[in-house]
Amino acid sequence: MERGYVQIYTGNGKGKTTAALGIITRAVGNNFKIFFCQFLKGTDYGEIKTIANFPTVKHERYGRGTFIRKKEFVTDEDIKLMKEGYESLKNALLSKNYDIVIADEIFGALKYDLISLDEIKLLIKNKPEQTELILTGRNAPEEIIELADLVTEMKEIKHYFKQGVFARKGIEK
Ligand code: ATP
Ligand code: MG
């Protein structure tokens, strides 16, 4: 790519991670190299198995393999794993080895103070010219939105989660 931009997928509706995965599908078809990391996610996701067959995608997952729902549930282990994860993400981004770098649910890590606003800003400000940086997660802060080039809010109109339908295999995981 001649020039990479900063994209954000945020909001409370479904589609943030799906959007990132859609771009991966498109980019792999063009032989792009992609670094796709996920903060605070569980382990059993269909996309991980799919991506394992994509030769140009490197995938990393940061966390204990559980979805954190409350700040009280954050452990020292989580803090350590996120620090290591952030370093790995930063190194991948600065390496210029990838056309696209995706940090899925990075705003979730921010919410639980597992990474800081300054750390996210540092990524955006030091992004190599030719690398596309994609950040996802609910509640992207205004300060970060201002630094991005493309911001899409997934707005919940309806979600079956409210009817008690939790993440389903092949659809949400
Ligand atoms: P997808 O991965 O399907 O594109 P997303 O990345 O936009 O969704 P996240 O915010 O990452 O959505 O949500 C992950 C999971 O959290 C969802 O699969 C869903 O089961 C669950 N969830 C919890 N609360 C809600 C809610 N209010 N609305 C939607 N999903 C919710
Ligand atoms: Mg998501």
Evaluate if residue 162 carries a pLDDT over 90. Answer: yes
| Ligand 1 atom closest to the CA of 19, numbered from 1 | 4
Q: What are phi and psi of 87, to 5 degrees?
A: -60, -40
Ranges of H-type helices in 39-96: 46-51, 76-94
Question: What confidence tens digit (pLDDT) does each residue in 48-98 have?
Answer: 999 999 999 999 999 887 766 777 778 888 889 999 999 999 999 999 999
% of the chain beyond a pLDDT of 70: 98
**DSSP H or E stretch at residue 110:** helix 106-111
Between the CA of 164 and the centroid of ligand 1 the distance, in Å, is 13
Arithmetic mean of pLDDT, 39-43 = 82
For tokens 């993440």, what's the residue?
Answer: 167
30: confidence class by pLDDT, cuts 50, 70, 90: very high
1: confidence class by pLDDT, cuts 50, 70, 90: confident
If one residue of 36, 112, 161 were mutated to test the ligand 1 pocket, choosing by the most ligand atoms within 8 A of its CB, it would be: 161
Put the strands of the sheet holding 132-136 in their side by side order. Answer: 57-62, 34-39, 100-104, 132-136, 6-10, 150-153
pLDDT at 75: 84
For the ranges 21-30, 57-66, 110-119, the lowest mean pLDDT is seen at 57-66
* Residues whose CB is less than 8 angstroms from the CB of residue 129 and which lie 6 or more positions away in sequence, other chains included: 3, 4
Model pTM? 0.95
Arithmetic mean of pLDDT, 98-120 = 96
% of the chain beyond a pLDDT of 90: 87
Which residue has its alpha carbon closest to ligand 1 atom 3? Answer: 172
158: confidence class by pLDDT, cuts 50, 70, 90: very high
Evaluate if residue 110 carries a pLDDT over 90. Answer: yes
